[in-house]
A and B are shown apart, each in its own frame.
Chain A
Amino acid sequence: MNPNSPTSPTTSRANAARACLSTGRQLGLTLTLVVALSSCGGYSAVPGGMSSIAPSMAMRPLTVDAPSPDPRVGLRAGLFDAEEAVWNLRVVSNTPPPEAFVGKTNSDLAFKGNYAIQGNYDGVQIWDITNPSAPTTVITHLCPASQSDVSVFGDLLFVSGEGMTGRLDCGAQGVQEAVSHDRLRGIRIFDISDIRSPRHITNVQTCRGSHTHTVLEDPNDQDNVYIYVSGSAPVRPAEELAGCSDASPNQDPNSALFRIEVIRVPIARPQDAAIVSSPRIFNDLVAPPTHGLAPDDIIAMDEAEAAGAFVAEFEGRRRILRDRTTRPLLNGIMTARGGTRVSAADSATLRASIPAMAESLMGGGGDGLGPTQCHDITVYPAIGRAGGACGGYGLLLDITNPIDPKRLSAVSDSNFAYWHSATFNNDGTKVLFTDEWGGGGGPKCRASDPPEWGANAIFTLDGQDMDFRSYYKLPAAQTSLENCVAHNGSLIPIPGRDIMVQSWYQGGVSIFDWTDANNPVEIAFHDRGPSDANRMGAGGTWSVYWYNGVLVSSEISRGLDIFELLPSDALSQNEIDAAKSVHFDHLNSQGQPQIVWPHTFALARAYVDQLERSRAVSSAWVTEVRAGLTAAEATSGSARQSALTGMASQIRGQAGQSGDAAKVRMLADALRGLADS
């Protein structure tokens, strides 16, 4: 409430409110009252007791003042001394790689406690990041294999090996023979209970090696952890690993193509880790080679259907059938019943049989085997779903039975070359797929490269269906000396918003808000000039993840970078503080954890900031609620509890008059949770 507003409360009410508070602080009449209204048993939440929540201005989408011209353009090259551009981030540290890994490719990251575990084509580097401004080496473990993507669970460390050079004995001499029993392609498992001394436990060899992998922690199985292996390289000869076959599954049911591998690791006996299933999640996969339907496309489709067009559905996506396709079918139905004119009943018959006929009508997509592999699968056990980025498709999988994942739906997109990875939003209502066009080695962010190629595609989830909404691509043009395409990232736990940090190789780090699936907006970035002024050198950020308050990036050539978010118009300090309140004891980005925010004042204030930013509420209401929070925070015990409880119920009652009832209710829930904590 605003003391200057005509709706100011009566003095008597204010006095009563003050009387029931013991703080006596000079917080001002109004804020004391807000607390008081809710904290005194004799007061019910009085409608109108607070200022109107109703917004006085139209709501506005997220807008940012991005620096112009973009400072990422024209950065000076250098290996360890490249020029840097940074916006809304603070560079906390750049730590060069250990000498053993200089000139060797750094890959993915996993986290355990205060340790960042960084894969490298020559082994694994473990950093202690207790002090993010000065990471220290715990151990540089030599054991070559590309890509050495890493994951952790408990005391176990899993490392992917795919390249031809990986050896069972971790030697660095490579494997010259095309067929060799010295070669490791698959998953290496280490015991890291003593993190300074990883102890090799076992290997699980796979027919296609392991380009990368996903650790699935099944909430219903405390005895085992599961690994989904994604291997994209050619199948090994059977002479090297018995049983491997790359014949078509029609010729050899044991073909290593068109399937993924599921490894079960008994936690008590990790040495018994073994492949337990090879699900053929692509069987009968057909989808049109078009981009997903944009909202305009959907409207057009609805209109066409309403006008009588025949629509066939493939994997949850609709296509209008052409007259030249439907006419002979209708004629066939007419002829079959002995008629001479196509009737409405014939049309109805055709409509009813379209689903069954769809595949043959449209040609069916070749052999119906779908892609031969996935690049990456992100599991989100809390919702029982996984996003599979598999060849030319994005798949939605049901993983409630870890050894038997089921495909729910699939999308394809003519703008996507190679589906690379997936990230869900925390609510599980959206999924973002990346396209690693060119495999990460190409300079795909030049001004001449289309913004929908090598980008992210954002989908909303509607039951089992994925609906395309928009693309997001790094908005700063990069040079032809910089390999650049969408790559790995994670959510940043900003409550009430979907915010992601993502690596773009030498395009740098981009942080963007995709709360509005139709309109992703970049809100922060970091970039360096090319690693080499004269040629496209190795370098760039392989992956960047939020972990316990900081952003940690694996730089392919330059080591480990750590960043911190800075507040801006697009992100408040309260939102950052709320994000920092989330603590993980370990993190594998592809095993997406559900974020649960502790009940803090920062959480409540973050929601208030968001309501203010979007103009979903009146500014007077914002002032009042903030004052109320300040007053409540200054109290303790039952006074705080009753103050927060009262605010929560009053705010909940106002939600409907705001421009964003859902967010106001989230605030009320946060206050209620804070009261109970």
Chain B
Amino acid sequence: MSDPRRHLPLTYVAAALLLSALSTVACAGAGGPTTPAPRSGAVAANAPPPAPDLARLEALYRARADSALQRVSDADAHFMTGMIHHHAQALVMSAWAPTHGANASVLTLTARITNAQKDEIAVMQRWLRERDRPVPEVDAGGKMARDSGMQMPDMDMSDTQMPGMLSPQQLLDLSRARGVNYDRLFLTYMIQHHNGAVTMVHELFATDGAAQDDFVFKLASDIQVDQTTEVARMQQMLDGLPSNQDR
């Protein structure tokens, strides 16, 4: 393989005080299906009775959907779990923009990153929940739940071991930066962070048994193209910031 990204070291600096304060890794327990698959719930009481063949097709649809839930590869579940943590840190980084004097274009960017990654966290959580897998819980600001009762047994899920995750010192620096310094650090670190997510997609696809689930393939591919595109945009924004000598 000629892809240098696939050979990135996967261990980053170990978790430290700030990190544990901001985003301790924990997983919500999920002893059983928390969202029962709807059966007839979608049919309102006043709806006309569906034609018999449609009822049969809908039953087939539900049966196939249930069956798909049984076919879950560890590689896919590992990816979804890890990406929830990864996305959560992007929410933390972005949430500071309004209070840290970000410029207008960085504000727009952070608003879109927040919107996009919150939605993706929700679908990844649902994907895990429907497959009876442990579900990492994330609050609105991107902080991982600490008290959901179940420590993640898989230490690979630790924030610091995923590509692109900010070190505690980087997070601290970003939290203290203001104005153009925040913009510059945010863009620099989010480029690092996004590139890490792209690496995670590459690692997924390089794993046997991965991405046989169409949903996982599509989500992973979308994350890859969205974040690759956004990295290019952020690089331009970074290049357009006033240089240190300029100020």
Q: Which of A96, A290, A440, A453 contacts B57 (CB 8 A)?
A: A96
Task: Say whether A641 faces chain B, with CB atoms less than 8 Å apart.
Answer: no
Q: A289 and B236 in contact (CB under 8 A), knowing A103-B61, A176-B209, A441-B219? A: yes
Is A546 interfacial (CB 8 A cutoff)?
A: no
Report the stretch among B13-21, B141-149, B168-176, B221-229 that lies at the interface.
B221-229
Question: Which of B35-43, B77-85, B86-94, B152-160 interfaces with chain A?
Answer: B35-43
Contact A164 B208 (CB under 8 A): no
CB-based contact B58/A146 at 8 Å: no
Contact of B239 among A103, A365, A417 (CB under 8 A): A365
Q: Are B208's CB and A371's CB within 8 A?
A: no
Query: Known contacts A81-B48, A178-B206, A442-B116: does B61 contact A102 (CB below 8 Å)?
Result: yes
Residues of A within 8 A of B128 (CB): none
Partner of A365, one of B206, B225, B235: B235
Decide: A372 near B228, CB < 8 A? Known: A80-B54, A366-B236, A438-B222. Answer: yes
CA distance A245 to B208 in the complex (A): 20
Select the stretch in B23-31, B131-139, B177-185, B210-218 that faces chain A.
B210-218
The minimal Cβ–Cβ distance linking A251 to chain B, given in whole angstroms, is 8
B42 touching A79 by the CB < 8 A rule?
yes
Residue in B closest to A557 when the chains form the complex, CB atoms:
B61
B4 in contact with A535 (CB, 8 Å): no
Q: B202 interface residue, CB < 8 Å from A?
A: yes
Q: Are A532 and B112 in contact (CB under 8 A)?
A: no
In whole angstroms, what is the CA distance A325 to B43 when docked? 63
List, in ascending order, chain B residues with CB within 8 A of A78's CB. Answer: 42-44, 47
Binds B, one of A228-236, A508-516, A614-622: A228-236
Asked if A414 contacts B108 (CB within 8 A), the reply is: yes
Known interface pairs A80-B50, A441-B222; A99-B201 also in contact (CB < 8 Å): no
Cα A442 to Cα B96 in complex, Å, equals: 24
8 A Cβ contacts from A423-473 to B: 437-444, 449, 453
Compute how far the CA of A391 lies from the CA of B229 in the bound complex, rounded to whole angstroms. 5
A534 and B43 in contact, given A288-B240, A438-B119 (Cβ under 8 angstroms): no
Q: At the interface, yes or no: B140 with Cβ under 8 Å from chain A?
A: no
B67 to chain A, nearest CB (A): 9
Residues on B with C-beta less than 8 A from A443 are 119
B9 adjacent to chain A (CB < 8 Å): no
B218 x A441 contact (CB < 8 A): yes
B198 nearest in chain A by CB position: A234
Interface residues in A314-357 (C-beta closer than 8 Å to B): 324-325
Query: Chain B: interface secondary structure?
Result: helix
Return the contact of B2 from the options A164, A234, A247, A364 (Cβ within 8 A).
A247
A370 within 8 Å of B (CB atoms):
yes
B119: chain A residues at CB < 8 Å are 438, 442-444
Tell which of B3, B120, B205, B214 touches A165, judged by Cβ atoms closer than 8 Å: B214
A77 to B40, CA, bound (A): 11
Indicate which residue in B105, B123, B206, B212 contacts A176 across the interface (CB closer than 8 Å): B212
Interface size class of A (residues with CB under 8 A): 35 or more
Nearest residue in A to B235 (C-beta to C-beta)? A366
**Within residues 349 to 397 of chain A, which ones have a CB less than 8 A from any CB in chain B?**
362-366, 370-373, 375, 391-392
**Nearest Cβ on chain B to A543's Cβ, whole angstroms:** 16
* A interface, over-half SS: loop
Give the distance in Å from the alpha carbon of A490 to the alpha carbon of B105 in the complex.
33
Across the interface, do A439 and B2 meet the contact criterion of CB distance under 8 Å?
no
B interface size (C-beta, 8 A): 64
Complex CA gap A247/B3 in Å reads: 6
Question: Which residues in B have their C-beta under 8 angstroms from that of A444?
Answer: 119
Contacts A176-B208, A288-B240, A438-B119 given; does A81 touch B43 at CB 8 Å: yes
A324→B61 CA distance, assembly (Å): 63
Could you tell me which residues of chain A, from 520 to 542, have a CB within 8 Å of some CB in chain B? 531-536
Report how far A22 CA is from B161 CA in the complex, Å: 92
Is B60's CB within 8 Å of the partner chain A? yes
Inter-subunit contact B208/A535 (CB<8 Å): no
Q: Which residue on B lies nearest to A174, using beta carbons?
A: B212
B123 → chain A, closest Cβ, in Å?
7
Nearest to A327 among chain B residues (CB) is B246
Judge whether A177 and B44 touch: CB under 8 Å.
Answer: no
Is the C-beta of A549 less than 8 angstroms from some C-beta in chain B? no
Q: Is B217 in contact with A146, judged by CB distance below 8 angstroms?
A: yes
Among all A-B residue pairs, the 8 with the closest Cβ atoms: A363-B239, A439-B222, A103-B64, A366-B235, A80-B54, A174-B212, A164-B211, A533-B42
Binding site for A on B (CB under 8 A): 1-4, 35, 38, 41-44, 47-48, 50, 53-54, 57-58, 60-61, 64-65, 68, 105, 108-109, 112, 115-116, 119-120, 123, 126, 201-202, 205-212, 214, 217-219, 221-222, 224-226, 228-230, 232-233, 235-240, 242, 246
Residues of A within 8 A of B (CB): 76-81, 83, 96-97, 99, 102-105, 121, 146, 162-165, 174-178, 211, 232-235, 237-239, 245-247, 251-252, 286, 288-290, 324-325, 362-366, 370-373, 375, 391-392, 412, 414-415, 417-418, 437-444, 449, 453, 531-536, 557
Query: What are 20 contact pairs spanning A and B, CB under 8 A?
Result: A78-B47, A79-B42, A97-B57, A102-B61, A103-B68, A162-B221, A232-B224, A233-B217, A234-B205, A237-B206, A286-B236, A324-B246, A362-B239, A391-B229, A392-B229, A392-B232, A392-B233, A412-B233, A533-B42, A536-B123
